[in-house]
Chain A
Amino acid sequence: MNNLLQTYTLLAAGLRADPQFCLASAVTWLDPLWQDDDEDWDVPHDEDGTLAIALRVTRMAFPDVYVQAVEAIRQGASYAELDRLICNAVTKRGIPLENLEWIGFGVPMPAYGVELNDADFYTTHSEVIPILACFGISPEPNPYHMTIPDCVYTAGRYIAADLEKHPDERYRQISWLMQWLWSASGNSSIDLSVDELYEFQPLSWEKDELAFAMDIIEEAEGIMSDVLEGLEFLSNSPDLLTALQQNIQRIYKVLEKQKGKKDEPRIRLAWPCLTDSIERRAELIA
């Protein structure tokens, strides 16, 4: 071992042997941002201090990501590499972070909300067009004048509530589909579109708010999984689509008669019995 390496080893041993040095060394290693000052991390392309914000957020919310990022900076990682590292790690922990620039605004939430007034929705979600047609809605030639009558929302939400507690899981999934289409789930990630979500103050990275955001996202993922199942089942069941259409007409008629009255309509909806329920249960048990 040459003198230089010997000196290095001696100094490293000294840092460990003395409790105060050891503590200072541990803090430098694991928590270099402990003083919370705007230390210049000297990463090219981080002109607006995004990285400093990201490190502060990860320090508070994701300590393991924080130390990974610090390690990467020490090894000379570029801004793009750090962006990818932090975004991937945070996304893996349940928060969909697409770009580091968003981290300073609060917890980014997914927005699955349906915008029936937006013509683009029908292009990106063409699979729901046959279902919306049952409600009498179709993409119009002039998309700038699309208006969805209130009675459509009322009917959709009525059906969602009617099927919510149905013993057959597939009907419950159709209920989730209706709750998504008519923004009635109570979960803001499901009910609000991106533009609508931007109107709210985002949740912060504080422990309680982050936990709340993660609960919302986890619930939303579960709901969307049911929505997709319900959509597929309904799309492939012509009898069920016919029953849906008949029920919608029933609701429209009652709503028409009730015009001006404030009473909640009481409508008995009829749904076909899914004949393969028993076989399906057996399949699920197996």
Chain B
Amino acid sequence: MTEVLLFRGARLEGGEAADLLIEDGVIAEVGTGLTRAGATVIDADGLVALPGLVDLHTHLREPGYEASETILTGSRAAAAGGYTAVFAMPNTSPVADTAGVVEQELALGEAAGYVTVQPIGAVTVGQKGERLAELGAMADSRARVRVFSDDGFCVWDPLIMRRALEYVKAFDGVIAQHAQDPRLTEGAQMNEGSVSAELGLAGWPAVAEESIIARDVLLAEHVGSRLHVCHLSTAGSVDIIRWAKKRGVNVTAEVTPHHLLLTDELARGYDARFKVNPPLRREEDVLAVREGLADGTIDIVATDHAPHPSEAKACEWQAAANGMVGLESALRVVQQAMVDTGLIVWADVARIMSRTPARIGRLADHGTPLSEGHAASVTFYDAAPVRAFSTDDLAGRSLNSPYIGRELPGEVRWTLHRGRPTVVDGLVLDTPGVRA
């Protein structure tokens, strides 16, 4: 029997203050002045209550790259950041392109118990872009895969992309595309522009992303399929998605926290913590993706949490791995870039970081309203403090965060996954649901 929790005075999605009674994994009652004999009462006065965050784009590295992250450590990082569900990208070893691998990931996620780990299946065998993986088998497996992606690689062949978009209609799936023309980005190291020209680093041009997105929205329109665009990063990409949505194309788009905050100027010191794919872009791109997120052109924020061991970053820029960890910092970055700037309110945060990602991924019992009878996956967030982000804030296995030393607002105080606490008073529990 799990304990009964009564949170007093939390602002639901940043609005009215209310009490939340959590019992048997669900929100049993919402109201003011609630009492309940035997309940543990938690003062949540002033905290923002959000439906548990859902990350549509996480790299958990297991199986195969356990030196960077495991499903357990990545789940802890997720909980620390206020997440209650993460979608695990398939670029593991072996690649998650069969029912066996996705079911193993699902089982490891359940065993870890911090968050719902929902595997994403590869679109093509080995993510090689040559022939479709057994998408139906993954969809029918116990992991119930609905999102398919070759993330890390673009499904570049237009015919394979068309077939994938068509095929997943059979089970209401979606193709999440990593939009990057491989020919236009051979050896690319950073955004192509004024800074790359000075630093002598091979450029990753915006057009390599935009041309693939333009092609894919036209393909999705043509075959009447559902398309999701991963980590959109340029002003031009926002324009293309806006145009496609106006035409009625069934497309959704995500942006990462780092593309909402950081620019390619950070490459100047050749500190590989800032090396990521797609690369950090110009300030005008950052402003454009913020605007696109605020006006609904971009549907969600997803972390692209990409852990790497220190040796993959403490080296020459060119030799360093792409990627940044992001689960623990995402909500704080979104607060700084979007909420504190007045572009969106907390109810929008609930939409872009919980409700819509759950809906795109067809994940039941997540992103549900903070009302009676719904699963008690809830994040309690204190927006008031401002602190320098540090390695103490990281709960996963890797330390490659671009925010270390940077002032960020906010703190996740409590995370509940299906009624079980995973974060209590800002600390990740050693065992989910078991408080010291």
User: Do A and B share a complex?
Assistant: no
- Chain B interface residues (CB < 8 Å from chain A): none
